[in-house]
Amino acid sequence: MTTAPDLSGWTVSLDLWGTLIVHRDQAAVTDWRVAEFTRVLDAFGHARSSFQIRHAVTTADRLALHRQRHDGTQPTVGELLAGILDPLAVQATAEMLSVLEVVHTHASLRGCPHPIEGAQDALRALAGTGARLVLTSNTLSTSPQVHRQMIDDLELSPFFADMLLSGELGIAKPRPEVFATIAERANTTPERVVHVGDDWLTDIRGALDAGCRAVHYRPTGRPARPDVLAITALDQLVDAVLAARLPADALSYSEPR
């Protein structure tokens, strides 16, 4: 019987979107949000064309995502809705906002999120090493409550000792405080944290700048950045995390062929 590698005393932080789960139909998320915003605005006496609403929704999403990725800003639901309604010159009542909040924060479910192939097996293998597993995700429009329910429904929750969601923290990756919080809540130091993610700026650069180790998940197989551990499939994850423990000048990990 092969003995599992020992990662006791180490914390492995994993990104969610693009690393462990993806949408089956990304376009359905925007389409449903536009359709529901159109219906709700019309019901409350603020009829706008679907074209106007789609433009407002996609522009607001793009700007919010840019600020989050580059500044680590986590907007509130109210700020996200204002980013859509203000360009439409809509003065919303509290009742209308409460309806739109549900639409906005649940839209992601319309894309049918599902685990990436091999995600459960990779998490199970990591858990078997004795490492503390933490989910670290930027939430943006989808509320933390919806995220937690979705993670439960996808049967991923049991693998994680902790979950850090930007909507609860009030800040987002790549802010160094996010990665410091991972270490603090694990009662360890950043050097004993390995963060895994698919986004170079928020996951890899953010983790390294905060003093953590990092593994870049690149399922498309695009060339890796120099001196950064990278994998193209989740079944390579345990080996990559083991390699990430080594000092930077001793890394010699290469992806399995």
pLDDT tens per residue, range 61-71: 999 999 999 99
Q: Is the pTM of this model over 0.85?
A: yes
What confidence score (pLDDT) does residue 247 get? 63
What confidence score (pLDDT) does residue 249 get? 42
Instruction: Give the model confidence (pLDDT) of 36-63 as tens digits.
Output: 999 999 999 999 999 999 999 999 999 9
Quick one: 31 and 94 in the same domain? yes
What confidence score (pLDDT) does residue 252 get? 42
Token duo for residue 241: 């995390």
What confidence score (pLDDT) does residue 254 get? 43
H-helix or E-strand containing 214?
Answer: strand 213-217
Residue 2 lies in a domain: no
With bands split at pLDDT 50, 70 and 90, how would you rate the model's confidence at 2? low
Which position has the token pair 């376009």? Answer: 27
- SS3 for 94? helix
Q: Domain range for residue 148?
A: 11-24+112-250
Residue 31 lies in a domain: yes
Residue 74 has pLDDT above 70, yes or no: yes
Instruction: Give the model confidence (pLDDT) of 151-168 as tens digits.
Output: 999 999 999 999 999 999
What confidence score (pLDDT) does residue 100 get? 97
Average pLDDT rounded to a whole number, residues 21-33: 96
Q: Report the domain count for the chain.
A: 2
Residues with Cβ within 8 Å of 174's Cβ and at least 6 positions away in sequence, in order, are 69, 72, 201, 202, 203, 205, 206, 209
HSE at residue 24, side-chain half, CA atoms within 13 A, is 6
Contact 240, 231 (CB under 8 A): yes
Quick one: 77 and 154 in the same domain? no
Residue 142 has pLDDT above 70, yes or no: yes
Quick one: 103 and 125 in the same domain? no
